[in-house]
Amino acid sequence: MISFIVDFFSYSFTVNALIASLLISIAAGMVGAYIVARRLVFLSGGITHASFGGVGIAFYLGVNPILGAAVFAVLSAFGVELLTGRLKVREDSSIGILWSLGMAVGIFFVFLTPGYAPNLMSFMFGSILTISESDIWMIFGLTVVMAIFFIIFYRAILYLSFDPSFARTQGVPVELFSYILMGFMALTIVLSIRLVGIILLLSLLTIPPSIVNTFTKRFSSIILWSMLVAFTGCLGGLVVSYTLNVPSGATIILILIIMFIFAKVYRYISVFLKQSKA
Amino acid sequence: MAKILDVVSASAGYNGELILRDVNFEVSDNDFIGVIGPNGGGKTTFLKLILGEIKPSTGAVNYFPNGNRQTLFGYLPQVTTIDKSFPISVLDVVLSGLQGQKGLSGWHKSADITTAKKIMERAGIAHFANNPIGQLSGGQLQRTFLCRALISNPRLLILDEPNTFVDNKFEKELYALLQELNREMAIIMVSHDLGTITTHVKTIACINRHLHYHPSNRITSEQLASYDCPIQIIAHGPVPHTILHEHHD
Ligand SMILES: Nc1ncnc2c1ncn2[C@@H]1O[C@H](COP(=O)(O)OP(=O)(O)OP(=O)(O)O)[C@@H](O)[C@H]1O
Ligand SMILES: [Mg+2]
């Protein structure tokens, strides 16, 4: 056991992976609680997958794929806004269109670029080993900025999510804040791609708040506990994937799902016991 | 009595289509104005215009004394399309009515919670304070939104059909409460219940694309007709069938 722990930490990439997991869990707790409460999960899925378009173009041009993903994530977020607001396309249809447009662009350019197929897998399914120090600094910066924003404007965020038109009468700049939060959402998604990959990312954001929501209906508790749940999932996933030599992203998600099932079963049983006592 | 706001030859609507035309209107402290009119006549649109939620396409809405409207209003929307499974407590919903005064980055003090609890006591929802809003009935939710409108002790209280969902007993309590509040604040209330309007308000505004101001709480169906305000008269008690109050000169 001791030798396993020593082994596990003796590689700088696992230390990087742990730091990255911790930071991403903190960011995912905030973004996840927000998107689940405001029912923006499908939109987040659209943004995540559309960002693949940016990855493809970046491969083709030979620039940093995360940069490409970030540009596409932000563009697709605003694209949905544009299609829905100005062109009166229904929102779920807009998301569906941009979701597949991004994927199509990505596939198109990846196939124009010879020799990148293996690397592609790490974007689709995550590859914790590819997390570099500069990635960690970016995640750190985002997490700190977002945490400050959430602490200062917690009440405004809560109220605008609950009832935007009333929040507006209270002087909350609902549109501006929604855009800022959408930007945070897009960046968190992009910076989490290395950890769990495009295809699995949505669960990292949605499972922790869903687990916590089983036990509390307080927005602030959901944010804080989601961070812990997400980090537990990441930590467990990293250890298991390291030991069994399986992909980290899928392992993290599976562990989160198991926690989710346990939470629901626990809840079900405790409610059942309470009822049978009464 | 000090003027709170005025609307000067304003027109407003949605997506370029004008709903309200050439509206002139003003509210002063301690006014109690009942707003009536047919469905789709533009009552809610009018309230949104006053609240600054929609901008007039011509004309203007001015706020006094200094043009600042953020801390002026308490507002009860007609329908609040909220998500009942949203993770927020009844107390937090009520507290959200203070955000305009607290400012964007404001947090609550324990005094605010005491104020909230007092109002909730009065509305009969105090024991739900820490429950998630998903556990409330329609009427309890309406009371919660009423508390949210009242907590800031606003200068102008705007109520869009406050009697929807609530039972008769609370409706009576509500009107008694409004009478009391009216000593400290102006009130604008939309209602389809003309009987209620005439017994509780001081003056009446009829809205059907245009606004006709009636500086009394007594109104006859002939007057309503002349205001182009075809509304069904629901009379209570010993009020004549078609005429709500005889117009005494
Ligand atoms: N958000 C909107 N976008 C476009 N048109 C709208 C919008 N809201 C209201 N309208 C239109 O404006 C008109 C006036 O609506 P409003 O809600 O002001 O009526 P109202 O007098 O409050 O009616 P009710 O008694 O049914 O509450 C209606 O014809 C309605 O179709
Ligand atoms: Mg209305």
How far is B230 from A51, CA to CA, in rounded Å?
55
pLDDT, one tens digit per residue, over B169-187 is 888 888 988 999 999 999 9
Q: Is B41 on the interface with A (CB under 8 A)?
A: no
Residue showing tokens 């749940």: A229
Domain enclosing residue A222, as ranges: 2-277
Phi, psi of A105 (to 5 degrees): -60, -45
SS3 label, residue A175? helix
- Residue B181 near residue B162 (C-beta atoms within 8 A): no
Phi, psi of A199 (to 5 degrees): -70, -30
- Which residue's alpha carbon is at the smallest distance from atom 2 of ligand 1? B14
pLDDT score of A12: 66
Show the tokens assigned to B130: 């820490």
Q: Does residue B244 carry a pLDDT above 60?
A: no
pLDDT score of A28: 96
- Whole-prediction pTM: 0.88
Could you say which of B153, B172, B204 is where a domain stops? Answer: B153
Show the tokens assigned to A95: 């998301």
DSSP letter for B166, please: -
Rounded-to-10 torsion of CA B16, B20, B26, B29: -90
pLDDT score of B233: 55
Q: What is the DSSP string of B101-164?
A: HH-TT----HHHHHHHHHHHHHTT-GGGTTSBGGG--HHHHHHHHHHHHHTT--SEEEEESTTT
Candidate ranges A57-66, A203-212, B204-213; pick with highest mean pLDDT: A203-212
Are B100 and B56 in the same domain?
no
What atom of ligand 1 comes closest to residue B43's alpha carbon? 21
Q: How confident is the model at residue A118 (pLDDT cuts 50, 70, 90)?
A: low
What is the pLDDT averaged over residues B145-155? 94
Count how many domains chain B has: 2
- Which residue's alpha carbon is at the smallest distance from atom 9 of ligand 1? B45
Domain enclosing residue B176, as ranges: 1-72+154-249
- Residue B219 near residue B48 (C-beta atoms within 8 A): no
The Cα of A166 is separated from the nearest Cα of chain B by a number of Å equal to: 8
Residue B43 in contact with ligand 1 by CB distance below 6 A: yes
Amino acid found at A12: S
Are B54 and B119 in the same domain?
no
Are B244 and B175 in the same domain?
yes
Could you say which of B120, B153, B186 is where a domain stops? Answer: B153
Task: Report the CATH number that the domain containing residue B38 is assigned in CATH.
Answer: 3.40.50.300
Q: Nearest CB to B53: which of A165, A172, A217?
A: A165
Residue showing tokens 């992909």: A247
Residue B41 in contact with ligand 1 by CB distance below 6 A: yes
Are B235 and B163 in the same domain?
yes
What atom of ligand 1 comes closest to residue B38's alpha carbon? 25
Are B108 and B46 in the same domain?
no
**Chain A: which residues have CB within 8 Å of chain B?**
37, 39, 152-156, 158-159, 161-163, 165-173, 213, 216-219, 222
Task: Report the CATH number that the domain containing residue A192 is assigned in CATH.
Answer: 1.10.3470.10
Amino acid found at A176: L
Are B92 and B182 in the same domain?
no
Instruction: Please answer yes or no on whether B87 and A222 come within 8 Å at the CB atom.
Output: yes
Could you say which of B107, B131, B153 is where a domain stops? Answer: B153
Are B140 and B173 in the same domain?
no
pLDDT score of B238: 45
Are B34 and B101 in the same domain?
no
pLDDT score of B232: 58
pLDDT, one tens digit per residue, over A133-152 is 888 999 999 999 999 999 99
Say which range, A12-16, B152-156, B242-246, has the weakest mean pLDDT: B242-246
Say which range, A32-46, A155-169, B176-190, B196-210, has the weakest mean pLDDT: B196-210
Are B149 and B242 in the same domain?
no
Are B60 and B169 in the same domain?
yes
- Residue A206 near residue A41 (C-beta atoms within 8 A): yes
- Residue A251 near residue A274 (C-beta atoms within 8 A): no
What is the pLDDT averaged over residues B203-212? 91
Q: How confident is the model at residue A117 (pLDDT cuts 50, 70, 90)?
A: low
Count how many domains chain A has: 1
What is the overall mean pLDDT for chain B? 86
Say which range, A88-92, B125-129, B238-242, has the weakest mean pLDDT: B238-242
Which ligand is closest to the CA of B193, given by its number?
Answer: 1
pLDDT, one tens digit per residue, over A234-270 is 999 989 988 898 888 899 999 999 999 999 999 999 9
- Contacts of residue B16, defined as CB under 8 A and 6 or more positions apart, other chains included, come to none
Are B50 and B98 in the same domain?
no
Are B164 and B247 in the same domain?
yes
